[in-house]
A = this chain, B = another copy of it.
Amino acid sequence: MLTFKQLRYFIAVHQHRHFGNAAEEVCVSQPALSMQIRDLEKELGLCLVERNARSIRITPEGEEIARRANQILREMQDLKDYAKHAASPLSGIIRLGVIPSLAPYILPKLLPALIKQYPDLQLNLRETLTASLVSELKHGTLDVILAALPIEEPDLEEVPIFEDHFLLAVSSSRNIDERKRMGADDLHGENLLLLEEGHCLRDQTLSFCGSIGQNQSANVGATSIATVLHMVAAGYGVTVLPEICADTEIADDRITLLRFAEPQPSRRIGLIWRKTSPKSEDYMALARCLRNVTN
């Protein structure tokens, strides 16, 4: 069996052209080094060093082997360097999945903070519906996901990040006093605009509103919150908007945001990973970072 050690020793001999000095460089006795070189030559079936009472000489094949061995050792070192780099806390690759009703609003806050605090971290992002995220997380294609709790899978760990209150977005043309606190029953008869099937936000909205207005709205199925809000602005109906989206989306004064009466409805955003994942520590740190940017 060809070993790394043999190559290392041979390279030392190649550099020093002297067994004794080479042995010193690799911190073994000269016989130990001689034996490894002998083994290497036997292994390769090839004479690498021409011994000659007074001095030694590397054969042409030895030169070629040394060249290749050097290349191999270099890559070996690269591998170790990569590992060392990847081993420092919150560094290396983390594959993060985020739900669509969160990604565009939280990532612009999260990414700059992460880069600043953990410059060695490389984040691979994926944005899709909760069901896919959970499946990919369990399958190992993702390392950690950011979604609405609860997921409640037995082998997944989940920690809450923040409580995202729901607001009611209505057309400004209605002239409703912004200070008014809405109740679920205020949605009676309203055309409730929703995201398409599969979005957790849609389900949360419906479960909060009960079956009220479901008949008018179930068939809307917009693909993004921005789309829904455009429809609200145009007067087609109302929608329930997570607070985290408010900053980004509401530059439009044709929309008025109304708070619900206490207890305000909300969704709980959390970070989820496999209980067996080796980087739980890192995900906890990621969770802290997320709490800081969402405070």
> Using Cβ atoms and an 8 Å threshold, which residues of chain B touch A140?
50, 57-58
Give the copy number.
2
Closest residue of chain B to A78 (Cβ to Cβ) is B68
Please state if B61 and A92 are interface contacts (CB–CB under 8 Å): yes
The answer, yes or no, to whether A83 is at the interface (CB within 8 Å) is yes
The smallest C-beta distance from A223 to any residue of chain B, in angstroms, reads: 30
Residue A84 at the chain B interface, CB threshold 8 Å: yes
The verdict on A72 contacting chain B, using a C-beta distance below 8 Å, is yes
A2 at the interface (CB under 8 A from B): yes
> In residues 1-59 of chain A, which contact B (Cβ within 8 Å)?
1-5, 44-47, 50-52, 57-59
The 10 closest A-B pairs by CB, nearest first: A47-B278, A44-B83, A60-B93, A57-B140, A45-B87, A68-B79, A52-B276, A61-B86, A46-B87, A46-B83
Report yes or no: B61 in contact with A93, Cβ–Cβ below 8 A: yes
Q: How far is the CA of A66 from the CA of B93 in the complex (A)?
A: 15
B50 to A80, Cβ gap below 8 A? no
Does A129 interact with chain B (Cβ within 8 Å)?
A: no
B45 with A84: CB separation less than 8 A: yes
Q: B residues within 8 A CB of A64?
A: 82, 86, 93
A158 in the interface (beta carbon within 8 A): no
Q: Which A residues contact B (CB, under 8 angstroms)?
A: 1-5, 44-47, 50-52, 57-61, 64-65, 68-69, 71-72, 75-76, 78-80, 82-84, 86-87, 92-95, 124, 140, 143, 155, 274, 276-279
Instruction: Tell me if A71 and B75 are in contact (CB < 8 A).
Output: yes
Asked if A47 and B279 sit within 8 Å, CB to CB, the answer is: yes
Contact B4 A3 (CB under 8 A): yes
Task: From known contacts A51-B276, A143-B60, infer whether A79 and B65 are also in contact, taking CB-CB under 8 Å.
Answer: yes
- CB-based contact A274/B50 at 8 Å: yes
Shortest CB-to-CB span from A29 to chain B, Å, is 17
Of the candidates A45, A92, A140, the one having the most CB atoms from chain B within 10 angstroms of its own CB is: A140
* A72 and B76 contact, Cβ closer than 8 Å, known pairs A1-B5, A3-B3, A92-B61: yes
Q: Which of B2, B71, B84, B155 contacts A80 (CB 8 A)?
A: B2
Interface contact B79-A69, CB-CB below 8 Å? yes
Among B5, B80, B83, which residue has its beta carbon within 8 angstroms of that of A61? Answer: B83
Q: List 30 A-B contacts (CB under 8 A).
A: A2-B4, A2-B76, A2-B79, A2-B80, A3-B3, A3-B5, A45-B87, A46-B86, A46-B87, A47-B278, A47-B279, A50-B276, A50-B278, A52-B155, A52-B276, A57-B140, A58-B140, A59-B279, A60-B93, A60-B124, A61-B83, A61-B92, A61-B93, A64-B86, A65-B79, A65-B82, A65-B83, A68-B75, A69-B79, A75-B75
